[in-house]
Amino acid sequence: MATTGAVIASGLTAYGLYHDLYGNITQEAIDTDSFEDRPSQIEGSMNVLIIGSDERTGENSEYGDAEGERPDTLIIAHVTPEQETATLVNIPRDSVVELQACAASDDRPGMDAGRNMIGLALTLGGPPCLWNNVEQLTGLHIDHYIHMDFHGFSDMVDALGGVEMCIPEPISDEKAHLELDAGQQVLDGEEALGFVRARYALGDGSDTSRIERQQQFMGAMAEQASSSEVIANPGNLYDFLSAVTQSITTDDEFSPDTMADLAIGMREVDMSDIEFVTVPHGEAPDNPNRIIWREPDAQELFDSVRQDSPLTDPEEDEADTDDSSNGGDDGGDAPDVAPEEVTVEVLNGTGVSGLAGQTAEELRALGFTVADTGNPQGTAPQATTVLHSPDRAQHARALADALSTASVVEDATLGTSVQLVLADDWDGVTGTADTHGESAQEEDAADAADGASGHDADTRTAADDAEFVC
């Protein structure tokens, strides 16, 4: 959450005000010399550990009672200015990992080595303990850290004048203090905080579902923060950066010059070159409410980040797009997966009500298993896309080959189902009747059925679909 603020904050030198605001930042001495077997530093890159803190004391006590401090959000921001790229790696807070021992400090009891949730390192050992453990687990050298609490995040959003988001369905979450209608709207600080923290009232209730929503919000917040209304207006920029600098704690080596160097390099990074990725994972065998990292995929991800390698092969992505764009035989090897083996979620990212349900029926007619239909959370892709986990690439290709147009994209956050996200370029399922060419009798029959049941072919009502699409 703090990445955008920290990067833009460091660029305030352009206004001659940065050193004034830098004094607002709280800093903590971190004795990294005490860390053993640290990974090598990456020349030309910087890794910043971002901690969104769940501590219920002081101004944060209004968000409920909880003992100790936990990382509500844990991100490694890998920035390579020369390559004009940035990667944000989300580490799920429900991750069960092998933790290193940490010594006690003035306000923390310390902990023994053992297998536990990653957040325990922060709770019992503080930022130094979490920093050291993240390095040991990922093999990535952490250069600096940024620490922000609930209240600071809310203030940042308010200083931006709110952040515009598409809310796909009404939200009511008492725990997250959140009540929202569906549709395009500007979230203020409290609403934004509830949106990124909400868990059980949204998605499938998992931490990874919440991470996906946080990534969507951070992308929207970064766009808002880098908009001309903020950057080009010294008053607006100062207010935003004042909120940022008063809200964060960093290590004492994160100096104004270091921040300025980072900001200068990041000015050339386009929003499209910022990647959000979550550590590959699966359900913990002994506890469905916890997750474990999937190997060797997790270490391969960290290796790619360390080497500044693309997280996805551009040539492979291009081939996937080209091969699936016409839905026909591309002359290569046919997929090894039959339609009956493919489980699909169909998400309607268009303004056409009921399109997901209609498409689902056409896919079922071809033998595919449709698990669910609905609307995508956040901003939908501009082009029709088939999303798949790393081990469901052939399933995704089998689906894409049955479509008139679709790009195939890997998403490490997905499970056994592939997702078909329909966009405005959607042109139907190959080998079926024209999806837009229903006869008047067929349309009347469908309308009559909708009126009788109160629902269209989608899992939502027709009125809901019209409202949810932004």
- Name the least confident of 71-80, 392-401, 410-419, 440-449: 440-449
Domain closes at, from 306, 333, 359: 306
Same domain for 258 and 302? yes
Same domain for 239 and 332? no
Same domain for 378 and 456? yes
Integer Cα distance of 164 and 144 in angstroms: 30
Cα–chain center distance at 433? 37
Q: How many residues make up the chain in this entry?
A: 470
Same domain for 196 and 273? yes
Q: What is the pLDDT of residue 437?
A: 35
pLDDT at 463 > cutoff 50? no
Whether 397 and 391 have beta carbons less than 8 Å apart is answered as no
pLDDT-derived band of residue 263, with 50, 70 and 90 as boundaries?
confident
Cα dihedral sign, 82-269-376-314: negative
Same domain for 112 and 171? yes
Angle at 135 between CA 133 and CA 140, to 5 degrees: 160
SS3 45: coil
Domain closes at, from 306, 331, 350: 306
Same domain for 276 and 327? no
Same domain for 244 and 338? no
Integer Cα distance of 214 and 197 in angstroms: 8
Q: What is the pLDDT of residue 469?
A: 45
Tens of pLDDT, residues 407-419: 888 887 788 889 9
Cα–chain center distance at 409? 15
Same domain for 238 and 371? no
pTM beyond 0.85: no
pLDDT at 236 > cutoff 90? no
- Name the least confident of 67-81, 147-161, 267-281, 451-465: 451-465
Q: What is the DSSP letter of 99?
A: E
Same domain for 136 and 35? yes
DSSP bridge pairs for 145: 49
SS3 422: strand
Burial 128-140 (b: 16+ CB within 10 A, else e): bbbbbbbbbbbeb
Tens of pLDDT, residues 96-151: 999 999 999 878 999 999 999 999 999 999 999 999 999 999 999 999 999 988 77
Mean pLDDT of 232-260: 83
- Name the residue with higher pLDDT: 305 or 319: 305
Domain count, the chain: 2
pLDDT-derived band of residue 227, with 50, 70 and 90 as boundaries?
confident
- Name the residue with higher pLDDT: 130 or 379: 130
Cβ–Cβ contacts within 10 Å for residue 75, how many? 25
Q: What is the pLDDT of residue 94?
A: 87
Mean pLDDT of 28-55: 88
Angle at 176 between CA 293 and CA 204, to 5 degrees: 45
pLDDT at 455 > cutoff 90? no
Mean pLDDT of 207-230: 78
* Counts of helices then strands in the chain (DSSP H, E): 15, 20
Residue with tokens 């010594």: 103
Same domain for 383 and 462? yes
SS3 307: coil
- Name the least confident of 162-171, 213-222, 322-331: 322-331
Whether 462 and 469 have beta carbons less than 8 Å apart is answered as no
In the chain, the percentage of residues whose pLDDT exceeds 70 is: 75
Integer Cα distance of 449 and 457 in angstroms: 9
pLDDT at 324 > cutoff 70? no
Enter the tokens of residue 70: 């936990």
**What is the residue-wise DSSP string for 327-389?**
-S--SSPPPSS-GGG-EEEEEE-SS-TTHHHHHHHHHHHTT-EEEEEE--SSSPPSS-EEEE-
Domain closes at, from 263, 289, 306: 306
Q: Which domain holds residue 364?
A: 314-468
Same domain for 32 and 174? yes
Range among 1-10, 267-276, 285-294 rated most confident = 285-294
Same domain for 73 and 208? yes
pLDDT-derived band of residue 171, with 50, 70 and 90 as boundaries?
confident
Q: What is the pLDDT of residue 14?
A: 42
Q: What is the pLDDT of residue 316?
A: 40
Residues 6+ apart with CB under 8 A from 335: 394, 397, 398, 401
Q: What is the pLDDT of residue 70?
A: 64
- CATH assignment at residue 105: 3.40.630.190
**What is the residue-wise DSSP string for 216-266?**
HHHHHHHHHHTSHHHHT-HHHHHHHHHHHHHHEEEETT--HHHHHHHHHHH
pLDDT-derived band of residue 378, with 50, 70 and 90 as boundaries?
low
